[in-house]
Amino acid sequence: MKRIFSGVQPTGNLHLGNYLGAIRNFVPLQDDYDCIYCVVDMHAITVWQDPKVLKANTREVAAAYLAAGIDPKRCIIFNQSQVAAHAELAWIFNCVARLGWLNRMTQFKEKAGKHRENASVGLYAYPNLMAADILAYKATHVPVGEDQKQHLELTRDIAQKFNSDFKVDFFPLLEPLILGTATRVMSLRDGTKKMSKSDPSDYSRITMTDDADAIAKKIRKATSDPDLLPGREVLDGTGAVPEAARQARPEAYNLLAIYAALADKPMADVMDEFAGAQFSHFKAVLTDLAVAALGPIGAEMKHLSDDPGAVDAVLHDGAERARAIAEPILAEVYDIVGFLRP
Ligand code: TRP
């Protein structure tokens, strides 16, 4: 069977963007693929993490995977640092990838910002570790949000250069799977900014553990505009929202996209339902939908947070199964590279 690998960083405040753009899409894949879902704690420490909080956040991502419906028997769920092959292969990739390739990574530029000299070396080498995550399992399919596409292209470049440098046909070239209608969920306060864990306003995001009251309050307070909701005639030939329309009413289209994703309906159908409606009506219906979709997941996450032992056992078992796949692949890589292992 084809193998999927994906990862989520345990950096706290798991929100609707993480759910709709990533975690939710992982669930149906388990029927058709061998799936490995990782909590990438080693990626998380490329920026400062409080150690106690990191542990709690690692369990929280694992709990989100489980609560969303990922079956730990059929899939492998584990945290990255438990499988040494990630770090070991990443070192080899540090020696395969070129500085020029990493210099082009837009995520590093965004995250390092103006203080590039002060960014960790790990943040710079982040994409090489991500390539190691994927290739340590020879995964061929990687579901990610739009913002990770550049990193996946780099992973392909690394696989290709490794194969050609060592004259082997060893690493497969992966296929990105960009999934879901709302891969980009925007802030509830400002529809031009991505929904983010680090936005200072809690009202900018719905988190996966928000209860019904919190969800209702955040949607009620979400920024809107004075017009009535648009109809499907604004959509382009492919059923997508044209960029100009989005720029004119970023909040309206964000809320509609969230509705479409939660209802699992095409945007056009949602617009048929709400064309000409007031935001107050639409927000009330959206609230019911969000509470119905997220409520049970949040409740299960809270339940799991009371039982950290159960989550740790899943991660332990997953790490063991992950090692069983990655270690033989790494042993072959070491041999190809010319490392002696008497
Ligand atoms: N960089 C990804 C993100 O921030 C997380 C990630 C780490 C990942 N390793 C991965 C995703 C491997 C897919 C495959 O979303």
How far is Cα 100 from Cα 283, in angstroms, rounded to an integer? 47
pLDDT at residue 341, as a whole number: 84
Among 152, 163, 164, which residue's Cα sits nearest to residue 128?
152
Cα 6 to ligand 1 centre (Å): 6
pLDDT at residue 182, as a whole number: 54
148 lines ligand 1 (CB under 6 A): yes
Among 58, 131, 119, which residue's Cα sits nearest to residue 93?
131
The letter for the amino acid at 52 is: K
Architecture of the 3-182+308-337 domain: 3-Layer(aba) Sandwich (3.40)
Q: What is the pLDDT of residues 205-233, one digit of tens each?
A: 999 999 999 999 999 999 999 999 999 99
pLDDT at residue 302, as a whole number: 96
pLDDT at residue 146, as a whole number: 82
The pLDDT confidence band at residue 177, using thresholds 50, 70 and 90, is confident
Q: Over 80: is that where the pLDDT of 236 sits? A: yes
The pLDDT confidence band at residue 118, using thresholds 50, 70 and 90, is very high
The pLDDT confidence band at residue 181, using thresholds 50, 70 and 90, is low
Tokens of 91: 């070192």
Instruction: Report the predicted TM-score, pTM, of the whole model to 2 decimal places.
Output: 0.95
Q: What is the pLDDT of residues 82-102, one digit of tens each?
A: 999 999 999 999 999 999 999
Q: Where in the chain are the domains? A: 3-182+308-337, 202-304
Measuring from atom 9 of ligand 1, which residue has the nearest CA?
130
Give the position of tokens 């798991």: 14
Query: Following CA atoms 208, 210, 216, 217 in sequence, which dihedral angle do they give, to the nearest 10 degrees?
Result: -120
Cα 342 to ligand 1 centre (Å): 34
96 lines ligand 1 (CB under 6 A): no
Q: Over 90: is that where the pLDDT of 5 sits? A: yes
Q: What is the pLDDT of residues 256-308, one digit of tens each?
A: 999 999 999 999 999 999 999 999 999 999 999 999 999 999 999 999 999 99
Averaged pLDDT of the chain: 95
Q: What is the pLDDT of residues 185-197, one digit of tens each?
A: 999 999 999 999 9
pLDDT at residue 180, as a whole number: 59
Cα 215 to ligand 1 centre (Å): 27
Which spans in the chain are helix H? 16-18, 24-29, 41-44, 51-68, 85-94, 99-103, 106-112, 121-135, 149-165, 212-221, 243-248, 250-263, 267-274, 279-305, 308-337
Tell me whether residue 283 is one of the annotated catalytic residues: no
pLDDT at residue 176, as a whole number: 83
Cα 4 to ligand 1 centre (Å): 12
Q: Over 90: is that where the pLDDT of 179 sits? A: no
- Give the active site residue among 55, 138, 161, 194: 194
- Give the active site residue among 111, 138, 161, 265: 111
Distances in Å between the Cα of 61 and the Cα atoms of 106, 150, 335 are 25, 24, 35
How far is Cα 52 from Cα 59, in angstroms, rounded to an integer? 11
Tell me whether residue 109 is one of the annotated catalytic residues: no
Tell me whether residue 194 is one of the annotated catalytic residues: yes
Measuring from atom 15 of ligand 1, which residue has the nearest CA?
8
Q: Residue 228 has what DSSP assignment?
A: P
Distances in Å between the Cα of 191 and the Cα atoms of 148, 186, 262 are 20, 5, 18
- On the question of a common fold for 3-182+308-337 and 202-304, the answer reads no
Homologous superfamily of the 202-304 domain (CATH): Tyrosyl-Transfer RNA Synthetase (1.10.240.10)
pLDDT at residue 340, as a whole number: 96
Q: What is the pLDDT of residues 58-69, one digit of tens each?
A: 999 999 999 999
Tokens of 40: 């990438």
Q: What is the pLDDT of residues 26-68, one digit of tens each?
A: 999 999 999 999 999 999 999 999 999 999 999 999 999 999 9
pLDDT at residue 183, as a whole number: 63
286 lines ligand 1 (CB under 6 A): no
